[in-house]
Chain A
Amino acid sequence: MNVHEYQAKQIFAEYGVPTPKGIMVESVDAAVEAAKELGGPIWVVKAQIHAGGRGLGGGVKLAKTLDEVRELADEILGMTLVTHQTTAEGKLVQKLYIEDGADIKDEFYLSVVLDRKLEMPLIMASTEGGMNIEDVAENTPEKIITIAVDPAIGFQGFHGRELAFGLGITDKGEQKNIISFAQKLFKLYMEKDAEMIEINPLVRTGSGEFLALDGKMGFDNSALGRQPEILAMRDLTEEDEDEVEAAKYGLSYVALDGEIGCMVNGAGLAMGTMDTINYMGGTPANFLDVGGSANAETVAKGFEIILKNPKVKAIFVNIFGGIVRCDRIANGIIEATKLTDVNVPVIVRLDGTNAPEASEILNKANISNLIVASDLGDGAAKAVAAAKGN
């Protein structure tokens, strides 16, 4: 789960990680009020969406007067921002963050992420702040320093010294500041079950302080149960409506551009089914994993969500029952045809636990647009043919 910049900065503040002062607003008038409260003399008006590259997309601008704050807030609020991290349709800006301008001497990059190979968190830092870090990694990898921190020992002094010297910070006061900054950031990374924290840029001010000018945070979804404060920060308007609706029923759904709706158990087989459809000359309309506890209700819901997409010309149900019992899926398909108007051919392949019972249930139901497939290849071929109207 991701949070907005203003929320990340709230968490930073809770841990004493320094950030410029700022206020989140949802209207132009509130933006001006916030600017007055912050005092100026300069402000930054920042679009709050869950994507990077906001500055390049025109969603982050500097204001030198209250009139400019009003003008910029009016311009950015309600705009659809397209960046390299959004879809081509972009994201609607519904929230702004009005922030004090900082006295920037220079810019750094700092992040904490999980290193899957080392199986421990990794602090990444660079003197090339404010740039696209992927470009830095590609063009000048020597300018990125990495420090793995074993959670069993936590962030020690030597980690901090490695970081400060690695960034060429020689002033003792500044060293103390950057070490304290990183130590607090690491503490919050661990305590809040963060998946990644990225600060770009991290700025050094004229007086040798370090400030998080930006903040991106993602959290481990599996840990949200014990992080109620973080969970409360979830912004559903940043997520796909159908995906959220599907998740309520234990379904994992992602819309795609093609014509063949897919309903599969297990993420791996779901992707494999999409790959097979593609290989046979068709195009998948979605990824849908019905999960391990699929029943009649969830399957019916799955059909409903798939059929909301007008491009869908056929549906391929591909189930290899392990925990999922095929008879339950079969009942779900019958239920779905009663609850929803399933007006496209449905190709069904059920294998594994209780598969014979399932085929008996389907045969008895005698549904006209239902086509039974013997295996994955057969099912994909039939689905591709059905979508083409054959």
Chain B
Amino acid sequence: MSILINKDTKVIVQGFTGKEGSFHAEQCLAYGTKIVGGVTPNKGGQEHLGRPVFNTVAEAVKSTGATVSMIFVPPAFVGDAVMEAAEAGIDLAVIITEGAPVKDMQMAKAHATKHGMKTLGPNCPGIITAEECKIGIMPGSIFKKGNVGLISKSGTLTYEGTNQVCNEGFGITTAVGIGGDPIIGLSYNQLLPMFEADPETECIVMIGEIGGDLEIQAAKLIKEQITKPVVAFIAGQTAPKGKTMGHAGAIVSGSAGTAKEKMEALEAAGVTVVVSPAEIGKAVTKAMAKK
């Protein structure tokens, strides 16, 4: 078992024939991901990486039965691409592109929600179910199969956390990069219950960052709903105070979004909070032993 994706998941790539899209689609194929086609307007009918190219997502879905789309289109076109995927009946859009305008993501996410499509990202490394399906840009080789679920705002901390879990002799069920932009798709509070329900996941690693209050919300949910052990790290304890002109944003969320505040909330919810990412592996070992 795993969450959201597995070896049978059919994936298309939006922005398939571009430089980034091509490079990473090829890596995903090599990992074993069932990429069944891709979309690049005006290249419909061609073949790329041995897979068919379509002009529209609707055509691609109709002819391949894909349920997940991996999005690599340039930042200015991300909103458009997400909305197209939503209307074409995609279940999950994994948005890798960095630098999508926030306004576009507000619109696109609202539209996706209306059409029942889940989104991940933007500006995230993607999602991987170890040794089955990789949809994203992470180095697949470090993800050994195992019983630890991982959720992270940061791409490279996803790799760091995974590497330590695997070096301790454990492995990963599914690792999910959620991104750290102001508007993101699936977050801790949607993913934690999925890991709780997944029979193979025995422990959850959660990696957060300063800013916003998603980790505070997660602490509340963990206290109420999550019975599996959770290990957390919040990056940015030593980060300087943000150089903003106004502080209206902090008032809206009702919290300053500091690492300290988040770490305390998680600790109060029974989470094992580590002060350095170098301690994630050992903390997981302890958590697994206690079970």
* Chain A positions near chain B (C-beta within 8 angstroms): 2, 50-52, 85, 111, 113-117, 119-120, 122, 124, 133-134, 137, 144, 146, 150-152, 190, 193, 195-196, 198, 216, 218, 220, 222-223, 225-226, 254, 256, 264-269, 271-272, 274-280, 284, 287, 292, 320-323, 351-353, 375-377, 380
Contacts and interface: CB of A to CB of B under 8 A. Distances in A.
Contacts, number: 185
Interface stretch (B7-15, B84-92, B247-255): B247-255
A323 B123 CA distance: 13
Contacts of A198: 245-246, 248
A323 B244 CA distance: 30
A268 B152 contact: yes
B65 to A, nearest CB: 30
A266 B248 contact: no
B275 interface: yes
A375 B212 CA distance: 30
B200 interface: no
Given A196-B245, A196-B248, A352-B159, 7 more contacts: A117-B252, A150-B110, A195-B102, A222-B101, A266-B157, A320-B156, A320-B159
Interface stretch (B37-45, B56-64, B136-144, B221-229): B136-144
Interface stretch (B28-36, B233-241, B265-273, B283-291): B233-241
A328 B138 CA distance: 17
B262 interface: no
A279 B103 contact: no
B46 interface: no
A321 B246 contact: no
B125 interface: yes
B198 interface: no
Q: Is the interface of B mostly helix, strand, loop or mixed?
A: mixed
Nearest to B217: A117
Contacts of B101: 193, 220, 222-223, 226
A122 B252 contact: yes
A5 B25 CA distance: 47
A196 B251 CA distance: 13
Contacts of A275: 235-238, 259, 275-277
Contacts of B245: 2, 50-52, 85, 196, 198, 216, 218
22 contacts: A111-B248, A114-B106, A119-B183, A137-B251, A151-B106, A151-B107, A196-B245, A218-B244, A226-B76, A264-B156, A266-B157, A268-B154, A272-B235, A272-B277, A274-B238, A275-B277, A320-B159, A322-B139, A322-B159, A351-B159, A352-B163, A376-B160
Among all A-B residue pairs, the 4 with the closest Cβ atoms: A268-B154, A266-B156, A377-B278, A269-B156
Nearest to A287: B239
Which of B207, B240, B248, B250: most chain A CB closer than 10 A?
Answer: B248
Contacts of A216: 245-246
A113 B249 contact: yes
B213 interface: yes
Which of B109, B125, B142, B249: most chain A CB closer than 10 A?
Answer: B249
A177 to B, nearest CB: 23
B98 interface: yes
B79 to A, nearest CB: 11
A268 B209 contact: yes
B182 interface: yes
Nearest to A118: B252
Which of A50, A269, A351: most chain B CB closer than 10 A?
Answer: A269
A272 B157 contact: yes
A133 B139 CA distance: 46
